[in-house]
Structure 1
């Protein structure tokens, strides 16, 4: 059986994600679609809207055959680390290709960009360093350095676009590690990451969907943007827990942690740097709600996403020492599978390069322990009393696809 991989968050699963899964299968000619999915915390430094089991269920009901959890250390990392972890997992599980959505829509510009930056690495690093010295953010410095090398040549990928940036790093991870996995891309359609919901369309960004829910408080109003199975899963989640994940919900616990730690000890947490710990502490003293709190911290140099990743690590207790101790994923954590996915895993079991783990009890190394702890912190922030859910929840199994 031939497999293709996709790298996802499904926060939540919407019609654009359905299109991606369908097109990945079609473009690759694969029998099986494997999703590497972030767990309880996400790459832009946020708690997930719904827990990883709910999001896994949505994926398997809508075109995905296997869901593997991306470990916390990679799921909450900067783009290059996020990509590195995900591509390692897809290579290890035997995926012949990976397919990402991009603003570019064609793979050749990404390959051209990779070749250019590899050939001119020293100059690129120098340009980045010089740009950072002017006080701009790291992402802006990267983009300025890249533009200086490429000029106006249309043969290179536009790395000012968020999905193009991730796509480039996926290719970089595969090429740098000399993996056999083949890159593919499809055109991202209709809605960009930050776009609000447009009720004249049927595709909206996950960000727009979450924002619309928190403003309007109704999932029914958003049903045109998500498959029916996704709406059903989210309704069930909300009925059970009475809420969805957000920093506004988690902020009281985060604020308590910050004020307990004090500035000098905040520096030990991953990504907290350049004296920003003092700003974080002072903002926590002054603000009782998350939005005014983060507004006091973010700046041109420290983007909202970068600050949120710091806050995620403070909240979970993830330190610089821990971050530096991991080189690559140590296991494949199975969250769920369809019958097709089960057949694939059975056929590939002798070829899979990492331990395939289906129970939290078998995560007996430092990386697995971190995943379990992060899940505890997520469940606690959600007000879920049963923290043993991490141990008691088996992989989701979908024996047959639901009727359309």
Structure 2
């Protein structure tokens, strides 16, 4: 059986994801599609709309064969580490291809860009440092340095100001650096870009646009044209049970309490907290009754909204610099959901897997990376401010992989 891997968050699973899924299967002529998916906290540093089990069910209902969890340490990391963790897991599962969406739509440009930046690594890093010293954010410094290094290139290169191109580049980079056998493919992103508003006249919208509409109207009818019916059903079931969707605004009372129970010096111990921003975080938390007002006080040219959110995610989940530095690569494969086809593929691999396959977590309490995932899951349910959701605490010990 030939397998293709995709890297996803499915927050929530929408028609654009369905297009990507079907195109990935068709383009690689694969028998099995494996999705490595973020857990309850995401790469942009925010809680997921619904939990990982619900999103995994959406995926398998729509045609994904196997969903495995990307551990928290990678799911909430900057793009290069996010990609490294995901590609490592897909390669470990013997995927022949990984297929990502991009604004570029051409693989050659990605390969040329990797060769350019790896060949000029010293000059590139020097340029990044120079731009950072000018007081701009790290992502903007990367882009400015890239423009400088690529100015005289005679081959087609990727536009690294586009969010999906950036992730795609890091997937390619990870495959090279890991010396992985998995091969890349890319699909041109259609209609909706990453941050676009949802257009009611279309059937494809970005997940960001869909969430904005949902939180604005709190009515699933307003987004049903953008999602498969199976996703709408799962969202309806979730909201009936818990009366809340995951967001920092909803989590704010818990996050604010956690921030203020620390001293400013203690906040500096958490991952990604740098350059004294712990002072601004603590001061803003003292004065802010909403997450939006809190963020408006601490955002700056130096730190992007996403980077600040990742800092807050680590504060909320008590994930420290010391823990981050000990987590180089994923240490296990954890299935969340699968089709019968995915189950057959996984069974065929069991003897050849180099990483432990974890279906029941109780026997793996010594695995620090896994325990971090479980802690983050429990804190996610607490953050929902819902009595029914609080009953989900400890759910990772009770849940076996879903088979549909």
Quote the offset at 1:370 in angstroms: 0.5
Quote the offset at 1:362 in angstroms: 3.3
| Separation of aligned partners in 2, 1:123 and 1:385 | 51
Residue number in structure 2 paired with 1:322:
323
SS of structure 2 residue aligned to 1:357: coil
Residue number in structure 2 paired with 1:402:
none
Q: Which moved more, 1:203-212 or 1:382-391?
A: 382-391
Residue number in structure 1 paired with 2:277:
276
- Counterparts in 2 of 1:39-188, with a 5 A limit? 39-151=39-151, 153=153, 155-188=156-189
SS of structure 1 residue aligned to 2:6: strand
**1:23 counterpart = 2:23:** yes
| Separation of aligned partners in 2, 1:145 and 1:20 | 31
Number of residue pairs matched by the alignment = 398
| Separation of aligned partners in 1, 2:25 and 2:364 | 31
Residue number in structure 1 paired with 2:395:
389
Residue number in structure 2 paired with 1:376:
378
Residue number in structure 2 paired with 1:195:
196
**1:262 counterpart = 2:263:** yes
Residue number in structure 1 paired with 2:312:
311
Contact 1:94 1:351 in 2 (8 A): no
Q: Which runs of 4+ in 1 moved over 2 A?
A: none
**1:354 counterpart = 2:360:** no
SS of structure 1 residue aligned to 2:261: helix
SS of structure 2 residue aligned to 1:270: coil
Task: Give the TM-score taking structure 2 as reference length.
Answer: 0.97
| Separation of aligned partners in 2, 1:15 and 1:87 | 24
SS of structure 1 residue aligned to 2:403: strand
For residues 201-228 of structure 1, give each alpha carbon's deviation from its aligned partner in whole angstroms, at most 9, with x where no partner exists: 0001111111101111110121110000
Residue number in structure 2 paired with 1:14:
14
Quote the offset at 1:388 in angstroms: 2.0
Quote the offset at 1:304 in angstroms: 0.3
| Separation of aligned partners in 2, 1:332 and 1:228 | 29
| Separation of aligned partners in 2, 1:23 and 1:211 | 27
CA RMSD of aligned residues (A): 0.9
| Separation of aligned partners in 2, 1:361 and 1:48 | 24
Quote the offset at 1:352 in angstroms: 1.8
Contact 1:6 1:100 in 2 (8 A): yes
Quote the offset at 1:327 in angstroms: 1.2
| Separation of aligned partners in 1, 2:350 and 2:242 | 37
Question: Structure 2 unaligned runs (5+)?
Answer: none
Contact 1:171 1:183 in 2 (8 A): yes
Quote the offset at 1:149 in angstroms: 1.2
For residues 183-216 of structure 1, give each alpha carbon's deviation from its aligned partner in whole angstroms, at most 9, with x where no partner exists: 1100011111111110010001111111101111
Residue number in structure 2 paired with 1:334:
335
| Separation of aligned partners in 1, 2:283 and 2:335 | 41
Quote the offset at 1:86 in angstroms: 0.3
Q: Which moved more, 1:67-76 or 1:191-200?
A: 191-200
SS of structure 2 residue aligned to 1:191: coil
Contact 1:197 1:209 in 2 (8 A): yes
For residues 269-292 of structure 1, give each alpha carbon's deviation from its aligned partner in whole angstroms, at most 9, with x where no partner exists: 000110000000010001110001
- Counterparts in 2 of 1:212-231, with a 5 A limit? 212-231=213-232
| Separation of aligned partners in 2, 1:391 and 1:232 | 25
SS of structure 2 residue aligned to 1:213: helix
| Separation of aligned partners in 1, 2:19 and 2:362 | 35
Quote the offset at 1:363 in angstroms: 3.3
SS of structure 2 residue aligned to 1:185: strand
SS of structure 1 residue aligned to 2:156: coil
Quote the offset at 1:152 in angstroms: 7.0
SS of structure 1 residue aligned to 2:353: coil
SS of structure 2 residue aligned to 1:189: coil
